[in-house]
Amino acid sequence: MKYPIGIQTFEKIRTEGYAYVDKTQLVYKLVTEGSCYFLSRPRRFGKSLLLSTLKAYFLGQKELFDGLAIADLETEWKEYPVFHFDFNTGLYTNLEGLNSTIDYQLFKLEQQFGIDKASLSLSDRFKELISRAYEQTGQKVVILVDEYDKPLLETIGNPELQNEYRKILKSFYGVEKTMDSCIQFTFFTGVTKFSKVSIFSDLNNLDDISLNNHYAEICGVSERELHDNFDETIDAMAASNGMSKEDCYARLEKQYDGYHFSENSVGMYNPFSLLKAFSEGRFGDYWFATGTPTFLVEVLQQTDYPLDRLTAEEVDVRTMDSVDMMYSNPIPLLFQSGYLTIKEYNERFQSYHLGFPNEEVERGFAQFLATYYFAGGMNGSFTINNFVREVERGDIEGFMTRLQSLFADGDYQVMGKLEIYFQNTLSVIFKLMGLYVQVERHTSRGRMDVTIQTRDYIYIMELKVDKPADEALKQIEDKQYAAPFAADSRKLFKVGVCFGSESKGIDDWKVVER
């Protein structure tokens, strides 16, 4: 089987014999039940391939759909003029970056329809193109926009430039509403949704299907599709990894499944990671290797958001609609970007409980953040491996000494508030350690207590800022944190830790053994 890794062109996949998971029944549903859509999905999730499939359909390329579901559904194959705008290709470092990207794509279309490039605004050129294409072909225009939000995501750290981009895009996209009588179909894709007072305020006729359960499977791979399309592949992968087929399916689910795009929807696999695993025959972390989500750090920096709250609170459904307020609440951005997903839905309060979709995302997210919180990053002397080894052999003094040195060399510009920096750095450490040992964290009103369990040891840690280590130990006793382990034969350490706001590090710690 040939795996279309990095191939986003429907025609190439179909003509060159690459594996294709048939989504054309949903494509037919789209084109027959509506005409103006928006879809948000994480990067590398098949959005570009979906647009390419729609493009082939509207160009009337019937032969490419032989053997697929839509071949039995569609009775008329018409050819429409298709405008396909792709914002993946631009370099968005200045105002000219966005203007030149739009200008080039308009110019290519103008050449196609024999229009001389006029000294008009981008919006007026767009209007003229739509009108002329309709006149020349006798068919209304199809407009497909891929990664519409990339210019905005790449300028998160530059609010002035981003505001200029918003104005340009708002004017440009607004053309589609004013020219509605000449347009057959419109489809926008992106990672995030900037709405309300943002660029879609003029284009308010879009049907946002991002959280529509009917289209939950339109991108990605479901469990059913995995079995139907890749059963033999998984059989071979299981054999090469010395495991049963059932265990192989379970490992794939744990590592790559778990994306939910509406309440009670089926879980979806990340298609890029899945195909890479099949191609290489091993369970690697592939999604984070394809791009660095620096915009997330920009937002987390400006919000001083406590990382432990990412999966600890319920989120109102209405707040998940757009990312316009990301600097006061980064959760919608993390959700739409694919770092968090829906785990539970509370119908009574209309709220979501969010969590990491799978191990690949959880591990990759923590490792990425570690490069910002740890001096020297994960390749320096403070690798998680060292922490885990010290904990597993009962070397609490070695662990705490290493932790103290870590903060002594830390970068305190990563976050604005010192207490948040302490908590977030520890949260990243314990998140990564949790991949190898059992770590539980609890937070309340600035307090952070930690329980770590290994085969031979139990550690209960209480962390305080500008308070004696003795006070932290006293809280462990007063709150009886060790009570659940009273009958446990493992050696137990109670550890009180004092952070100092002046020293910007660990001032003291005390250990009591049981």
* 3-class state of residue 168 by DSSP: helix
Structure confidence at residue 212 (pLDDT): 93
Nearest to 299 by CA among 317, 320, 324: 324
216 φ/ψ angles, rounded to the nearest 5 degrees: -60, -30
d(CA 44, CA 259): 13
CA 152/CA 322 separation, integer angstroms: 13
pTM for the model stands at 0.88
Q: Are 495 and 482 within 8 A, CB to CB? A: no
Q: Rounded to 5 degrees, what are φ and ψ at 507?
A: -80, -35
- Show pLDDT as tens, one digit a residue, over the chain (514 residues): 899 998 999 999 999 999 999 999 999 999 999 999 999 999 899 999 999 999 999 999 999 999 999 999 999 999 999 999 999 888 899 999 999 999 999 999 999 999 987 778 999 999 999 999 999 999 999 999 999 999 988 888 888 999 999 999 999 998 988 899 999 999 999 988 876 446 666 666 789 999 999 999 999 999 999 999 999 999 999 999 999 999 999 999 999 999 999 888 899 999 999 999 999 999 999 987 766 667 777 787 777 777 877 887 788 887 777 777 777 788 888 888 899 999 998 888 888 899 999 999 998 888 888 877 765 545 544 578 888 999 999 999 999 998 888 877 665 554 456 667 777 788 888 888 887 777 776 654 445 678 999 999 999 999 888 899 999 999 999 989 999 999 999 999 999 999 888 887 899 999 999 8
Residue 412 phi, psi (nearest 5) = -85, 10
Starting at the edge strand that comes first in sequence, how are the strands of the sheet with 141-146 ordered? 82-86, 141-146, 183-190, 36-40, 207-208
- pLDDT per residue as tens digits for the range 453-476: 999 999 999 988 889 999 999 999
Looking at residue 513, what is its pLDDT?
94
**What is the structure's pLDDT at 42?**
92
SS3 label, residue 444: strand
Residue 330 contacts residue 300 (beta carbons within 8 Å): yes
What are the start-end ranges of the H helices in 315-462?
331-336, 359-373, 384-392, 396-408, 418-433
Beta bridge partners of 496: 462, 510
Q: What phi and psi values does residue 219 have, to the nearest 5 degrees?
A: -130, 150
Q: List 38's β-bridge partners, or say none.
A: 188, 208
Maximum separation of any 2 CA atoms in the chain, in Å: 85
Model pLDDT, residue 410: 60
User: Which domains are present in the chain?
Assistant: 10-215 (3.40.50), 221-289 (no CATH), 292-355 (no CATH), 375-513 (no CATH)
The pLDDT score that the predictor gives to residue 446 is 43
Using a 10 angstrom Cβ sphere, with 0-12 exposed, 13-18 middle and 19 or more buried, the burial of residue 56 is: buried
